[in-house]
Amino acid sequence: MHETDLDDATFPEHRLLAAITTRFDDRLKKHAEYARLNGLQRLNWTRSLMAMSAAKPALLQMVSAGLQLILLKGACRVALDVSEQKSRTAYDLDLLLSPSDFVSAFEILAANGWNSTRGETVLGLRGRISSVRARNFKQGRFGDIDLHQYAYHIANQSSDSDRALFDDVQPAQFYGLPVFVPSPEERLAIAIGHGGWDGHSHSDWLVDAARIVNLDGVDWDKFCKITKSRKLSGHTAIALSYLSTEVGLNIPSEVLRDVCGRTNLASPAQISAMFLAKDIGKLSSAQRVIRRGFESFHKLKHSGRDKMQDTPLFRAVTKPGSPAAVSDGVLEHQLVPDTQAKAGLWSFNVTLNVKTPPKRRRIEFELNSSTRNLCHLQAFHLRKTGDHTEVRFKGQIMLAKEDFPIVLLALPGKLVEAPDGSPEHQKYGVVPFSVLAADFTHQR
């Protein structure tokens, strides 16, 4: 506090300061910033309670529907010890659910006006829900719920380990609601698994891990089996070494030998873990490129749609267009009227004109009927210049008579709260379009 101005503290540092204020309390009175630290702690505590208040009606519906709600991260700590709500800031609520319960929870949120921050419509998300690993939903100013089908990054997913996690949960109470929490060993592995990807962006995972080791009791044999099955050896070696040498936690020496002995510093997995664990702000330009490469590899390797269950995705790249052909643009346009309703396989060839902002970005669209999503259209704008561009989508989709009329909708890249013209809005805001040509042909 003698070297840092509190006014310059970032939000992740605010969260750490709240934990520090709770831990040291009156021992901080000698510092001139003590009153402000208490005020900061109360602010975080109040915001966390307001987020919980906004989420509770939806949680109550989920519990009443018989869903098994497993809390993760900050909410988990509060469920185990309500006094933690002052030190563990949680502006959002992380819920882990089984695949069937995940769909039911999504439908409850959708019915109550919660919106996906990814930007897709309810129909669009419902059309690909089987392959969605997690989604963040918001409602109003404070409502913020993360639904998870998996507790770990998908690169660390294991069907057998996932079943073991669900079988080993413990009952708890969360603001009067019956919920569940993972075992201490799973909670420690989850904290390390998430912190290992971007641990320098905030300290929550580190504080959570320290609390679990100090207060909850860890079956180290069980923990080591979990990290092996989750392919977390590299992240675990880094995290436990730091907790032992820098934080001073009592990690059994045989556990450190076991975990560190599993890692081969020259292996691609360990090199990847090292890059993902480093503070991106302290990397050189070349190292940042390598880190982004590792991160993209892990995400793309395990991403995609379930072609058997999800509606299809069609991609295209923009090209220069003619300004004379462009009107002001619309966000929604009927492409095929219900008078052409005919079931079967249809081919489509749609050309759009959009005025793109001066950003490389994705431009998102959906083809929808009144009751379901038909497909998702995604255009890549690869130029940094803002200009009139054209994009053409081609593909084939199966339609029923009830799918007519067919409507094209423009979507944001994600839910944007920034004002028009801001860098975030230019990068992710919805882009109006004009239809230059739309050919739908019944094939069979």
Q: 3-state SS string over the chain?
A: CCCCCHHHCCHHHHHHHHHHHHHHHHHHCCCCCHHHHHHHHHHHHHHHHHHHHHHHHHHHHHHHCCCCCEEEHHHHHHHHCHHHHHCCCCCCEEEECCHHHHHHHHHHHHHCCCEECCCCCHHHHHCCHHHCCEEEEEECCCEEEEEECCCCCHHHCCHHHHHHHHHCCEEEEECCEEEEECCHHHHHHHHHHHHHHHHHHCCHHHHHHHHHHHHHCCCHHHHHHHHHHCCCHHHHHHHHHHHHHCCCCCCCHHHHHHHHHCCCCCCHHHHHHHHHHCCHHHCCHHHHHHHHHHHHHHHHHCCCCCCCCCCCEEEEECEECCHHHCCCCECEEEEECHHHCCCEEEEEEEEEEEECCCCCEEEEEEEECCCCEEEEEEEEECCCCCCEEEEEEEEEEEECHHHCCEEEEEECCCCCCCCCCCHHHHHHCCCCEEEEEEEEEECC
Predicted local distance difference test score (pLDDT) of residue 157:
81
Predicted local distance difference test score (pLDDT) of residue 263:
58
144-175 confidence digits (pLDDT tens): 999 999 998 877 888 899 999 999 999 999 99
Q: Which residue has the higher pLDDT, 48 or 143?
A: 143
Q: What is the mean pLDDT of residues 99-114?
A: 96
Q: What is the mean pLDDT of residues 6-11?
A: 73
Tell me the sheet residues that pair with 438: 350
Mean pLDDT taken over the chain: 86
Share of the chain above pLDDT 70, in %: 86
Q: Which residue has the higher pLDDT, 249 or 299?
A: 249
143 pLDDT band, cuts 50/70/90, is: very high
Averaging pLDDT over each range in 35-39, 78-82, 298-302, which range is the top one? 78-82
- Using the predicted structure, report yes or no on whether residue 319 has a pLDDT greater than 70: yes
Q: Which residue has the higher pLDDT, 92 or 408?
A: 408
**Residue whose pair of structure tokens reads 């994009």 in the numeric block:** 391
Predicted local distance difference test score (pLDDT) of residue 296:
62
193-245 confidence digits (pLDDT tens): 887 656 556 677 888 888 899 888 899 999 999 999 998 888 888 888 888 88
Q: What is the mean pLDDT of residues 413-425?
A: 89
Share of the chain above pLDDT 90, in %: 50
Predicted local distance difference test score (pLDDT) of residue 174:
94
Q: What is the mean pLDDT of residues 261-283?
A: 59
Least confident of 108-117, 271-280, 324-333, 416-425: 271-280
Q: What is the pTM of this model?
A: 0.84
Predicted local distance difference test score (pLDDT) of residue 155:
76
Predicted local distance difference test score (pLDDT) of residue 283:
67
362-386 confidence digits (pLDDT tens): 999 999 999 999 999 999 999 888 7
Least confident of 39-43, 235-239, 263-267, 375-379: 263-267
Q: Report the candidate in 224, 193, 192 with the shortest Cα–Cα distance to residue 207.
A: 192
Question: Cα separation of 182 and 31, whole Å?
Answer: 38
Predicted local distance difference test score (pLDDT) of residue 243:
87
342-364 confidence digits (pLDDT tens): 999 999 999 999 988 889 999 99
Predicted local distance difference test score (pLDDT) of residue 248:
85
Q: Cβ distance 376 to 311 under 8 Å?
A: yes
Predicted local distance difference test score (pLDDT) of residue 10:
75
Predicted local distance difference test score (pLDDT) of residue 347:
96
Burial pattern 110-125, b for ≥16 Cβ within 10 A else e, equals beeebbbbbbbbbbbb
Residue 292, C-beta contacts closer than 8 angstroms, at least 6 positions apart: none
Q: What is the mean pLDDT of residues 300-322?
A: 81
Predicted local distance difference test score (pLDDT) of residue 419:
87
Q: What is the mean pLDDT of residues 20-26?
A: 74
Q: Cβ distance 67 to 60 under 8 Å?
A: no
Question: Cα separation of 45 and 49, whole Å?
Answer: 6
47-94 confidence digits (pLDDT tens): 888 999 999 999 999 999 999 999 998 889 889 888 777 767 678 899
